[in-house]
Structure 1
Amino acid sequence: METEEKVIVVSAVVLRDEDDRILTVRKRGTDRFMLPGGKPEAGESPVETAVREVAEELNVRLTEDALDLLGVVRAAAANEAGFEVEGTTFVAPAPVVASKIAPAAEIEEIRWLNADADTLPSDLAPMLEEQVLPLLLSLR
């Protein structure tokens, strides 16, 4: 008997500040930090989802053509036991001004991450820690 695959499809965006730190967010009621982004609405493309979610969560206005595709990655879901997350991940090439970023919608907390640090925080989402950060570091 075949089991149904439990996959959550999302779009995520790597936003960096002037010091090359990566913006991470923690959603209300959760304990893991991840990239801003979320699930698509009906008929939305991955890049449309990314632009909408960043606007809703952080009041940051991006345009679709301002995002570069990093890749589609898969990892254990941070907040849904037994599920995997498949994230189409984009990079915003232009830095954002850290002092102008504030949590909105379901975002409880923001935190800037130095991806080059010797030790990463223990509360990062698996997709970010295991897939996205290695991809970003390989591009340097």
Structure 2
Amino acid sequence: MSVDSTGSSCAQGRLIRTVSAVIADAEGRMLLVRKRGSDFLIQPGGKPEQGESDLDALSRELEEELGVRVVPGSAVLLGEFEDDAVHEPTTRVRTRSYIVEVAGTPCPAAEIAECVWVGAEARPAWRIAPLSALHVDPAFRHWWATLGKQPQR
């Protein structure tokens, strides 16, 4: 499937490129968000603007959506993951996901309706999007278990 960085149409549908954050607490729970009008929890983040680096885009999105700032030097690339988009039919989403430390307390803003801390065992009432549930969450759980610690605070 060919695509440019803007998520242009391709033969098998559309591909959207995003950056996303894994924000963890001391217990290893991840922060997920729910957009207004959605039944799915997703990683916070969004689409980079033209010429914007991953980390600049992630910093901008987290400030807009959650009112927090990424602590400089804290970002660790967890991986690049792809799955079906939950908000747009016939669309795939590919994200570069970063484990980050943030300054401030995450609070829903902009299009975000809710923030939920999700642990490995406890599952929220809302559904978790496949990209988060099948790809980001297992990669983060492996990272957490392998390193045996949370991101530096």
TM-score bin, normalised by smaller chain: 0.7 to 0.9
Percent identity at matched positions?
Answer: 33
Of 83, 93, 111, which aligns to 1:106?
A: 111
Cα distance change of structure 1 residues 74 and 121 upon mapping to structure 2, 3 Å threshold: farther
Of 55, 60, 63, which aligns to 2:68?
A: 60
Could you tell me the TM-score, scaled by structure 2's length?
0.79
The residue type equivalent to 2:118 in the other structure is L
1:81-104 Cα offsets, whole Å, 9 max, x none, are 111100010001x4777xx32101
Residue 65 of structure 1: CA displacement?
Answer: 2.2
| Counterpart check, 1:134 vs 2:138 | yes
Cα distance change of structure 1 residues 69 and 123 upon mapping to structure 2, 3 Å threshold: same
Q: Unaligned regions of 5+ residues in structure 2, if any?
A: 1-9, 146-153
Separation of aligned partners in 2, 1:85 and 1:73? 8
Supply the RMSD in Å over aligned alpha carbons.
2.1
1:11-36 Cα offsets, whole Å, 9 max, x none, are 00000123321100001121110110
Cα distance change of structure 1 residues 59 and 44 upon mapping to structure 2, 3 Å threshold: same
Equivalent residue pairs, number: 135
Range that drifts further, 43-52 or 59-68: 59-68
Separation of aligned partners in 1, 2:32 and 2:123? 16
Q: Unaligned regions of 5+ residues in structure 1, if any?
A: none
Of 45, 53, 59, which aligns to 1:51?
A: 59
The residue type equivalent to 1:105 in the other structure is A
- 8 Å CA contact 2:18–2:48 kept in 1: the answer is yes
Residue 138 of structure 1: CA displacement?
Answer: 1.9
The secondary structure found in structure 2 opposite 1:56 is: helix
Higher RCO structure (Cα 8 Å, ≥6 apart): 1
- 8 Å CA contact 2:40–2:128 kept in 1: the answer is yes
The residue type equivalent to 2:89 in the other structure is A
| Counterpart check, 1:124 vs 2:128 | yes
